Amino acid sequence: METENQFTTTVQYRLIILISATGIALSVYDEANSLISTKKMEFASPVPTSDEIIGLLSADSQINSSNVRVIVESDNYSFVPAAIFRPADASILLGFEHKPEKSEQLLYSSVIAWSCVNVFSIRSAIYTALIKLFPNTEVEHHLSYVLTDKVIPQNGNNLYIWVRNKKIDVVVLSNGELKLVNTYPYATPEDFTYHTLNVIEQLALNINTCKVTLLNAEKRMELKAVLEKYVVVDSL
């Protein structure tokens, strides 16, 4: 449900701010973790400045910062076993998979449930805006959020897909163990389905029993419609 109403400062509510490449989504949840309202705002420019981000958030999020979670989508990430992670090596570890950019802020966060650390980077303009508005709030990578809040350890083979604009992030579990976290581009529902089926094939998963769960895909039913011709699909 979408609403144009401003959010009221009430301690039992919490606000999740999700920043993507195209805009900001504000979602308010109650104490039972039920979604109360959602509002989406698009950026006016392809590469928004920190002032634009601050302006959007200052105008629309009227909630105590202690009840806020800030999540940023980013292609630049690397999951590292917690046992070998050292903060001083964060830049090097991320550099194995992604070329460091001067215009980006390097961050890392522990994903305790999976005994790993996510080393990632986001645009400096986004980081500057968020630190100014929410100085006491940790900036989370969207896949850390997925692994912490959405992925449930369970038996069998389970594939979770976080749907973004022209990209999908795939998380694969096999009998409760984390087997894969990777990102793939797509332009059509057929591309989306191809990458999903290719992951299943490459990891030798049973296509008849592998459960596929779509995340962040409420308005992308055309993706589900094609995919569910081949696998069992659920949505969260």
What does pLDDT average to in each consecutive run of 10 residues of the chain (236 residues)? 45 84 90 84 92 87 70 96 95 87 91 94 96 92 96 88 95 92 96 97 93 90 94 84
Q: Residue 34 is encoded by which pair of tokens?
A: 């039920």
CATH 3.30.420.250 domain position(s) in the chain: 1-77+120-150
Burial 153-179 (b: 16+ CB within 10 A, else e): eeeebbbbbbbbeeebbbbbbbeeebe
DSSP one-letter string for 20-76: -SSEEEEEEE-TT--EEEEEEEE-SSSS--HHHHHHHHHHH--S-GGGEEEEE--S-
Mapped onto helix, strand or coil, the DSSP state of residue 152 is coil
Tell me the pLDDT tens digit for each residue of 34-78.
888 888 999 998 899 999 999 998 876 555 556 889 999 999 999
Tell me the pLDDT tens digit for each residue of 6-25.
444 444 688 899 999 999 99
**Is pTM, for the whole model, over 0.85?**
yes
CA atoms of 139 and 37, how far apart (whole Å): 22
pLDDT at residue 230, rounded to an integer: 94
pLDDT at residue 231, rounded to an integer: 93
- Asked if 92 and 64 touch (Cβ cutoff 8 Å), the reply is no
CATH 3.30.420.260 domain position(s) in the chain: 151-235
β-pairing, 157-163 vs 104-111, is unpaired
pLDDT at residue 219, rounded to an integer: 80
**Smallest Cα–Cα separation from 203: which of 234, 236, 177, 185?**
177
Q: Which numeric CATH code is attached to 151-235?
A: 3.30.420.260
Write down the CATH superfamily of domain 1-77+120-150: Protein of unknown function DUF3822, N-terminal domain (3.30.420.250)
CA atoms of 157 and 135, how far apart (whole Å): 39
Q: Residue 152 is encoded by which pair of tokens?
A: 């449930």
Which residues 6+ apart lie within 8 Å of 149 measured at CB? none
Burial 117-133 (b: 16+ CB within 10 A, else e): bbbbbbbebbbbbbeeb
Radius of gyration, CA atoms only, the chain:
18
- Asked if 143 and 74 touch (Cβ cutoff 8 Å), the reply is no
**Number of CB atoms found within 10 A of residue 152's CB:** 11
pLDDT at residue 2, rounded to an integer: 43
